[in-house]
Structure formats: structure tokens, C-alpha cells
Chain A
Amino acid sequence: MATTVIETIYFIYIFLALYMISLFVLIYIQNRKEMFYYPKGKVEPVSIVMPCYNEADSIGEAIEGLLNLDYPKNKIEIIVVDDRSTDDSVKVVKKYVKNYKNVKLIVNKKNSGGAAEPTNLGVLKAKYDYIAVADADSMPEKDALKKMIGFLQKDEKVGGVTCGIMAKKRDSFIEKLQAIEYSVIAFTRKLLDRVDAVYVTPGPFALYKKKVLLEIGLFDTKNMTQDIEIVWRMVYYGYVARMCLATRTHSITPTRFRHWWKQRIRWNIGGLQTIIKYKGFFLRRGMLGAFILPFFVISLCVGILGLGIFVYLLGRRIWITYFATKFSVFVGTALVRTSEFNLSPQVLHFFGLSLFILGVLFTILGLSVMKEKELRDKNLFVLAFYFLIYLSLYPLILITSVYKLARGKYSW
């Protein structure tokens, strides 16, 4: 064998990626008829907790959305918990409190700097056995509660259920990119659901059993992604989270790069905090240790190592080019020769290309399953950008998150 260390690492990468694609495709093939299945549930009262911080622009629409849910009005209470907003959020909410008996407002004593504490306050004040948590900038589809509640009622072991979180607006380029990403995430999350490996019940809209939340100790106020941590803790306690693809919640996505970057850093730091918290369960404790934790750890290692190798190769290339150019100028010879461009393809190129094609096909499958025809068929440039540039930013986000976490310099 003539492979070097770096080539060996690339082969390992390729194998891991091949494994993940095979896993997802096999799960899909074996479950394709059940992707949109949901158990029919009984209408039981639900308390919807909505943490809020400076959401004056969107919270009115979000509350309207909840009030318009296809669910008996007397079976819903909406608890908005304001985390000391500095804008007119409280003023907006008060209008609804005045007009609707089932809308309540709690104002936190001081700003907590995250969503966990206000959510916990709302859960403790909630009077019903089922708790939905909703973001103040998200809109669940009308049938969300009806389609999700059955998952909790039919299985004692189910502690929480999420739905397909989709990008609400698709006007700008960055919104379209996120729309593709959200669709693929929703699709893969449903696939993970089929192997009991849902690892997050995202903030935009999720439904829980109140007794489970109380039993496991509510949302972790120190974690940047309390919606990930809560699921890992549920799994630790022997519960499972489910994913209902039959309904969706439409969430506002960042429209500026810096907001997008900040959001992703927060997600990654939260993920890292969760890994650290549960590191002792690696390869133990059912799906948490057997799949969810290794899945995250391997993704983390692969991302950081990949970026490290990329930086090393790029640095080496720059070094060689710099010195070769300097010496070439000195000895008065050509700065480049056509023979220096090696056009003989390597086996790794074929592997990489095959994997890239598989990745593209998988994404297209995801968009098709999610019925995102417009994203799939009319946005070729966005799709190309998504594959070639957008996804390449993930390792950079990861390494920045590791750095910020290590230095303890992060905030919501």
C-alpha cells in the first residue's frame, strides 16, 4: 500500500460518510411508507409556553398563529414569559392578554440571557399536563398539536415530540440556503426517529409531557441549546423523543451572515456543552451512548481534523509556491510550467466525487420527500452554492465554537 497518513485519514472520512449515507438510505427504504405517519390522539389540554426577548416585531403574529391552531380554544393556554425585553414586546403581549382569557404574561425578574429560564418559569406556571414550547418568531401549522399529541399519548416512553422545522421566508439567497438545510435536517431527523435517535426537540415548536419535564429537572439554564440537552437527559432517564413529519412549523431564519454565524456558533457551543456533560455515557446507556453521543463526537472530530488537514495542506501549498516563486525569480526561470499541473486523477478523487454525487442525490431525495419542489428544481445555483460553499463553512463554525467555549467567551 502506498498511502500516506493524510490519504489514510481521507479514506477513513470517505468510509464514515459512506456509512452514514448507507444508514440513512436504508432507514428510508425500510420506512418510506411511514414517513408521514402519526398516531391519532385525543384532544387534551395543552399549555403553550413562549419565551420572549425583544420580539416585538414578531410576537404578535406568533400568538395569533397559536390562537388559530386547529385545536379547541378552551383546551389551550398560552403563557408568554418575557425575559426583560427592552423593546415593546410586553406591550404587544398585553394587548392579547386583555383580549384573550387563555393568554397569560409572566415577566422574569431579571434578564436570564437565554431561553431555558423563561421556559422553565412558564412550565412551572402551566396548568395542563402537556407543554408545548414555541418560539416567538415561529408559526406552527394549524394541525400541529392535533398531529403531535398522539405520539405522547400512545407511548409511555415518549417524553417529547418535535415536528418539521422549516424556513418561513425564502426571499433572499441566505434564506434559500437555510430553507434547503432545514428541509434536509427535517428529513434526516425523521429518519433518526425510526431508530429512536432523535437528539433535539427544536425551540420553534415542540410538545412535551409535563411530568417528564418535571421528573428530569426542566431545561438546563446553563446550556446554550437547552432543546438539545433536554432530549439527551430524557434519553438518559429512559425516555425517547419523536419526530412528527406530518406537520411543520415555519421559523424565521437569519437574513444577515453575521446573525446566521452567531446563531450557528450558539448551536455548536450548546452541542459541545451537551457532549461534555454526557461524555461518561459514551458507548453506554442505550441509544444515547450507542449512537447519539458517538454520532456527535465523530462529527466533531471529523470536522476539526478535516479543517486541520485542509489548513495544513493549504499552508504547505502557499509555502511551496512562495519559495518556488522567490527562487524562480532569483534564477530567472519560468514561474510555472504546464507540466506542473498533474492531470492524472487519483483514486481518492473518484471516491470524493462519488461521495459528493451521493450527497447531492441524498439532498435531492430529502427535498423531494419534504415536497420542496421549488427549492429542488428552480434553484440550481443556490443548490450548487449550498454543496460547495455553505456546507464547507460548518468546520469553521465548529472550530470557532470550540475556541469560544474553551475561552468561556460566549453568550446567547
Chain B
Amino acid sequence: MVNRKHVFWQALLSAVLIFGVGILIGIGFENSRNDLVEETLVNSEINLLDSQLLGTISNNFEIGCEDANLALMKFADRIYNEARILEDYDEASQLTGLLEILHKRYDLLRVMLWAQAIDLKKNCGSDIHTVVYIFQYKDEGATLKSEQLVFSRKLESLKNEHPGEVILIPIAGNLELESVELIKKKYLIDKYPAIIVDEKHVIKNVEDLEGIEEVLFS
């Protein structure tokens, strides 16, 4: 006969050990993903600096606006795709909170990208369109999640239909970033999701989403 008390404690110890090892492996696994995102982010930051520099030298050295446009569009596409990977990793992240910080950094990068695009439009009279998508990061209720899903679908199809014309910039609106708060205040955004089209029009309702192409290309 096994010692009753001992086997219950042994099982507890064994479960704690296995569970603990599992948690440690899990944290390691998520950290490796975070490292990957961070590395990509650093590259993107370098690319943004590069893009800003390109804007400056295009003025000073009379480099064509077309090249600057192309470079910005390429960079915008790149961080849009990176954002999607970040979203996937973020949804899958359960043990570490680092991705939220990385998300903030990415959001700042996107705000800078937007500013860069506005500059380029001013300086070069560029015909690129900026579509800034302000959404709620996490803690969405079912209705909000379904609305955001529809907004994302519509914007993605818009981007696919007009790849060289539209810069899509998704920014989380609830991460308490001062620059984002100012933007929200300026465009009177008090609910999510919302879309700012070419710094002129704001779309807040699913019903108005249907007409986004008209707003963009009218």
C-alpha cells in the first residue's frame, strides 16, 4: 500500500514542476516571438528615418517626387504587413505583456508615417491617399469586434484594389499615446472604429463605409 499522504504531495509537486516547466517554455516561446517583432520594428524605424531623409534630400537635391512616393508607399506596405503579424502574435500572446509596448512603438511609427505622407503630399503635390484606421486595441465587446472586423475587411479590399494609390495606416486609439489623443481630439473621434480619409473626412459608422471609395476618389 502506497503512503497516502505522500503520493498526494508527490503528485502536487510533480504537477507544479511539469506546469512550471511548461510555463517557462511558454514564456521562452513568446519571448522569441517578441524578439522577432522587436527586430522587425527596429528595422522599420530605420526605414522610416531613411524615408524621412529621402523627403529631405528630395527637396535639397531635387530628387524626383515619384521616387520619394514609391519609397514611402513601399515602406507603408511593409509596416502594414508587419502590423498584421504583430496582431496575430499579440492575439496568441498569453504569458508576456511585452507585445503591448511593441504595439505602442509601432503605433508611434505609424503616426510618423502618416506625418511623412502628409509632408510628401504637401511638398510634391502627390496624389497618394492616406486612410488612417483608428481602432480599439483589445477588450472589444462582440459587437465592436464584429464592426472592426468589417472595417478591416473593407480597408483590406480597398488596399488590394488600389495598391499604388492608398496608404493604409491602422493605429490603436486606446493606448494612451499623446499624439494619437491629439489626433482623436482634432477629428472628434469619441468611438471606435473610425477612419480618417485624406485628413478631411471621418467615417465612423458601418453604414458610411460603403461610400469610402467615393470619398477617396471624388
Contacts and interface: CB of A to CB of B under 8 A. Distances in A.
Indicate whether A and B interact: yes
Interface in B143-175: 143, 145-147, 149-150, 152-154, 156-157
Nearest to A332: B210
A53 B173 CA distance: 70
A331 B206 contact: yes
Contacts, number: 124
Given A26-B14, A316-B142, A350 B153 contact: no
Contacts of A322: 146
B156 A339 contact: yes
Contacts of B64: none
A347 B14 contact: no
Given A347-B29, A351-B22, A330 B210 contact: yes
A354 B209 CA distance: 44
B182 interface: no
A194 B11 CA distance: 14
Given A22-B18, A323-B146, A328 B92 contact: no
Interface residues of B, number: 46
A30 B2 contact: yes
Interface stretch (A11-19, A54-62, A373-381): A11-19
B214 interface: no
Nearest to A349: B92
Interface in A141-161: none
A346 B33 CA distance: 11
B94 A26 contact: no
Interface stretch (B47-55, B95-103, B110-118): B95-103
B14 A323 contact: no
B2, B84, B89, B92: most-surrounded residue (chain A CB, <10 A): B2
Interface string B14-25: 110011001001
A410 interface: no
B150 A18 contact: no
B88 A342 contact: yes
Contact of B89 (A14, A31, A331, A344): A344
A320 interface: yes
Given A320-B142, A324-B146, A333 B7 contact: no
Interface residues of A, number: 46
Given A194-B1, A337-B156, A2 B95 contact: yes
B8 interface: yes
Given A320-B145, A328-B153, A343 B96 contact: no
A371 B143 CA distance: 54
Nearest to A19: B15
Contacts of A328: 150, 153-154
Contacts of A1: 95-97
A2 B10 CA distance: 30
A333 B213 CA distance: 12
A22 B15 contact: yes
B23 to A, nearest CB: 8
A2 B8 CA distance: 31
Contacts of B22: 347, 350-351, 354
Interface of B: 1-2, 4, 7-8, 10-12, 14-15, 18-19, 22, 25-26, 29-30, 33, 84, 88-89, 91-97, 99-100, 142-143, 145-147, 149-150, 152-154, 156-157, 206-207, 209-210
Smallest CB-CB A-B distances: 10 pairs: A347-B26, A323-B146, A23-B11, A327-B150, A19-B15, A344-B92, A324-B146, A22-B14, A22-B11, A324-B149
Given A331-B154, A334-B157, A339-B156, 12 more contacts: A2-B94, A2-B99, A3-B94, A22-B18, A324-B149, A330-B207, A332-B210, A334-B153, A334-B156, A339-B84, A346-B93, A347-B94
